Chains A and B, each alone.
Chain A
Amino acid sequence: MNGQNPLLTVENLALSRGERRLFEGVGFTLAPRDLLLVRGPNGAGKSSLLLTLAGVLRAEAGRIDWHLEEPPKLHVLAHSPGVKSRLSLAENLGFWRTLNGPTGLSPEAALDAVGLAGLDGLDAGYLSAGQTKRLALARLLVSDRPIWLLDEPTASLDAAGDSLVARLVADRLASGGAVIAATHNDIAGATQTLTLGGPA
């Protein structure tokens, strides 16, 4: 917390999937330059929490208050990368850039930033899992949005990829944004940690 107006306040959030209660009483406040790490074992509801914040799932109880315009424009990095294998890397990024608003880097600059420089014309179907993840990260750069929801951003990335994620997140925070990341690995610069599904 650094004394600024909060971006997001979550109070007493509860969510069930199927018959199972995933979590209840979850609450936190997110301010600009906050990095919130969501921790917990598999099945604790980390991804579901992110989807609830993204407005995809409906919370069973509790309040999610974005102190921004409604609905909030944010970037979601989910397990599925949203990459079309028959389009080239530049075409994939160019598409999302137009659809989400061309407010960020150019596709070439974004590819350069995630370590895929020079592959613009390649079909995305030829990328490895780690490279596809990097392409998905590049999507966050081509449109400028203050809030990122990252689900396992470092999954299938190598050591250099881990530090790339840390660098991108640090840049986002430095420009006044906020990041919520569900992860099993540590990301440097975390200001808050939320642990779901404690040792039951």
Chain B
Amino acid sequence: MSAFLTLIGRELRLAARTGGDALTLVLFFVMVGAVVPFAIGPDRTLLAKLAPGIVWIAAFLSMLLGLDRLFRADEDDGSLLLFRHAAIPLEAVVAAKVIAHWLLTALPLMLASPLLAVLLSMDVAGWERTLLSLLLGTPALTAFAAIGAAVTVSLKRGGLLAPVLILPLSIPVLIFGVAVVAAPEGSGSALLFLSAFSLVSVAFCPFAAALALRVGSE
């Protein structure tokens, strides 16, 4: 267990030292939201209607952009090879990295979401539902990102391939994520679907990603 926590701590510490990365994603997230009103025009009711979808698209793209750094640095400096002989199994290493990745990519987006809510003239209730849907949906996105990153880590320039690979997998998350926000009345089923999606994908992704890492290094 201490190895697991140390691994998460190391990822967070490295991100804090390197800076930049997490901040860049947040800026990208806010930027997408900030550009939309210029493109659509200053129609407040239309903006408020589109806001949940825009927030989800912005979050979706930010998460896709950030996924390559999940394993890339460890592959480059040889740590990934050494993880295979750690005292904990590779699956646990992947699980720890997925948790750290969620803390470093999804959590900052949620913290920045009030800014986007203001830019898109959402009301407080709408923002709360968006936050809830992001909280429930981003674990699934992180899980798929881990699988995509693991499959492409052995390719020197897999950066853009991975998002294309996992896009079809992630579409249901987008559908149910927006459904949670868009239908406040009786949206219980979308909420449950989204939660189930996240739980299942997070449970399976360490095994799938670890398998991909093992096969990929041959």
Contacts and interface: CB of A to CB of B under 8 A. Distances in A.
A74 B77 CA distance: 19
Contact of B10 (A80, A87, A101): A87
B81 A73 contact: no
Interface string A89-130: 001000110111100000000000000000000000000000
A87 B13 contact: yes
Interface residues of B, number: 23
Contacts of A75: 85
B2 A100 contact: no
A7 B217 CA distance: 26
Interface in A45-70: 54-58
Contacts of A58: 218
B87 A56 contact: no
A99 B81 contact: no
Contacts of B87: 73, 99-101, 143
B86 interface: yes
A89 B153 CA distance: 26
B82 A56 contact: no
A37 interface: no
Contacts of A76: 81-82, 85
A99 B7 contact: yes
Given A95-B10, A98-B6, A99-B6, A81 B218 contact: no
B111 interface: no
Interface string A68-86: 0000011110111111111
28 contacts: A55-B84, A57-B218, A58-B218, A73-B87, A74-B85, A76-B81, A76-B82, A76-B85, A79-B78, A80-B76, A80-B81, A82-B78, A82-B79, A82-B82, A84-B10, A84-B77, A86-B14, A86-B17, A86-B18, A87-B13, A87-B17, A95-B6, A98-B3, A99-B3, A99-B6, A99-B7, A99-B87, A100-B87
Interface of A: 54-58, 73-76, 78-87, 91, 95-96, 98-101, 139, 143
Interface of B: 2-3, 6-7, 10, 13-14, 17-18, 76-79, 81-88, 217-218
